[in-house]
């Protein structure tokens, strides 16, 4: 490396964010937690979101119920 490249690299390294900042911004995972545990946590979170969404879809009101509550006009059903 030439001298200007070395100085430029040193300047960039001096201004790089610290590890905690990168963790807070979700750029890297927390190095204090084992990767296997992090992966299980992510999978559990995704499964929780999927279950919640599935529950909401299963219990959403029918077009007829929405029409009765004047949320949907009688002729605005998707099947028509």
| For residues 55-70, average pLDDT | 94
Is 40 in contact with 46 (CB distance < 8 Å)?
Answer: no
- Give the pair of three-digit tokens for residue 37: 């545990």
| For residues 34-39, average pLDDT | 94
- What does residue 12 show for φ and ψ, rounded to 5 degrees? -65, -40
pLDDT above 50 for 80 = no
- Distance CA(45)–CA(18), nearest Å, equals 27
Instruction: Provide the pLDDT for residue 2.
Output: 78
* CB atoms near residue 67 (< 10 Å): 16
| For residues 18-31, average pLDDT | 92
Band of pLDDT at residue 78, cut at 50, 70 and 90:
low
For the four alpha carbons of 18, 21, 26 and 29, in that order, the dihedral sign comes to positive
């Amino acid at each position: 490396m030439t001298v200007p490249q070395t100085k430029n690299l040193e300047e960039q390294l001096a201004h790089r964010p610290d590890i905690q900042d990168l963790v807070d911004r979700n750029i890297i995972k927390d190095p204090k937690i084992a990767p296997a545990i992090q992966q299980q946590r992510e999978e559990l979170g995704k499964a929780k979101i999927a279950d919640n969404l599935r529950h909401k879809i299963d219990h959403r009101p029918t077009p007829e119920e929405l029409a009765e509550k004047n949320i949907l006009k009688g002729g605005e059903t998707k099947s028509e």
